Amino acid sequence: MPSDVSVMIEDERRMVAITVSEGEWRCYLPSEIKKIYEQSDTLRSMALFLGITPLLARKALQIAGVDYLRDLYGKRQSGKSYKEIAADNGMKRSTLTKMIKQRGWPVKPGRPRRLFSQYQLAKAAMQCKTVNSVARNLKVHWSTAKRMLSSEKLLVKLTNKYVLVVGDGYLNRAQTQLRI
C-alpha cells in the first residue's frame, strides 16, 4: 500500500503524486483528484479507488485544494451524526470533530434536534392520551415531548397533573398557519 502523497511539479503544472511502490509514482492533476472525489460517495470509496488509505486521500484532497470538510459538515447539518460520518469516511469521530473545531465551526454533541411543526405536534397530541405516547409517536424522549408540548401550550399543569389540551379548532388553526 502506498505510503506517501505529495506535491510534484511537472512541466510547470502542480500535480498530486501518490507513491505506488518503491520509486514508482502515479500523478494526478488537482482537477482529476476533484473529479474522483465528486464521483465518490465517501472518502473511503475514493481512497479505495486510488489504492490509498483514507488519511492519504484527505492529504491528496488538501494538496488538490478540495474543501472536503465543508461537505462532511454539510452532512452533519442534514442530520447525520459525527460517528456515522466519520465511520463512512474512514476516520474517528474525534478526528472529524477536531478538524471541524479547527475551522471554527460549532461542534455540538449528539444528533441535531428534530424540529416539528405546530401541526405535527397537535396531530400527535390528538391521537395520543399521554406524553409518553406522544413521545413514542414522534420518536423522541418523553422529556423532549413534554418540553415541546408545553412550549406550544398543548400541555398544561392542573393540580399536580399535566393534561394534554388540544381541540379540533387548534388543529385546524395550526394547519392554516402552516399553509400561509
CATH number at residue 174: 1.10.10
pLDDT greater than 60 at residue 180: no
Q: From the CB of residue 9, how many other CB atoms can be counted at a distance below 10 Å? A: 9
What pLDDT, on the 0 to 100 scale, is given for residue 111? 62
Whether 136 and 172 share a structural domain:
yes
Whether 26 and 49 share a structural domain:
yes
Whether 57 and 2 share a structural domain:
yes
Whether 162 and 174 share a structural domain:
yes
Cβ atoms of 69 and 103 closer than 8 Å = yes
Domain tally, the chain:
3
Whether 124 and 175 share a structural domain:
yes
What is the rounded CA–CA span in Å between residue 164 and residue 161?
10
Region 31-46 average pLDDT: 93
Whether 130 and 155 share a structural domain:
yes
Region 49-74 average pLDDT: 91
In degrees rounded to 5, what are phi and psi of residue 109? -70, 155
Segment (H or E) for 144:
helix 142-151
DSSP character for 180? -
Cβ atoms of 26 and 9 closer than 8 Å = no
What pLDDT, on the 0 to 100 scale, is given for residue 2? 46
Whether 36 and 83 share a structural domain:
no
- Give the pLDDT band (50/70/90) at residue 103: very high
- Give the pLDDT band (50/70/90) at residue 176: very low
Whether 78 and 51 share a structural domain:
no
**Residue 11 to residues 4, 14, 29, 177, Cα–Cα distance (Å):** 21, 8, 12, 63
Whether 52 and 12 share a structural domain:
yes
Segment (H or E) for 19:
strand 13-21
Least confident range of 99-108, 154-163, 168-177: 168-177
- Last residue of some domain: 32, 51, 66? 66
What is the rounded CA–CA span in Å between residue 43 and residue 20?
19
Closest listed residue to residue 173, CA positions, set 147, 159, 154: 154
Whether 59 and 82 share a structural domain:
no
Whether 98 and 146 share a structural domain:
no
Whether 143 and 172 share a structural domain:
yes
pLDDT greater than 70 at residue 153: yes
Cβ atoms of 171 and 119 closer than 8 Å = yes
pLDDT greater than 60 at residue 179: no
pLDDT greater than 70 at residue 131: yes
Q: Could you list the residue range(s) of the whole structural domain that residue 145 is in?
A: 118-179
Cβ atoms of 73 and 104 closer than 8 Å = no
What pLDDT, on the 0 to 100 scale, is given for residue 173? 54
Least confident range of 8-17, 39-48, 56-65, 110-119: 110-119
What is the rounded CA–CA span in Å between residue 155 and residue 157?
7
What is the rounded CA–CA span in Å between residue 116 and residue 155?
16
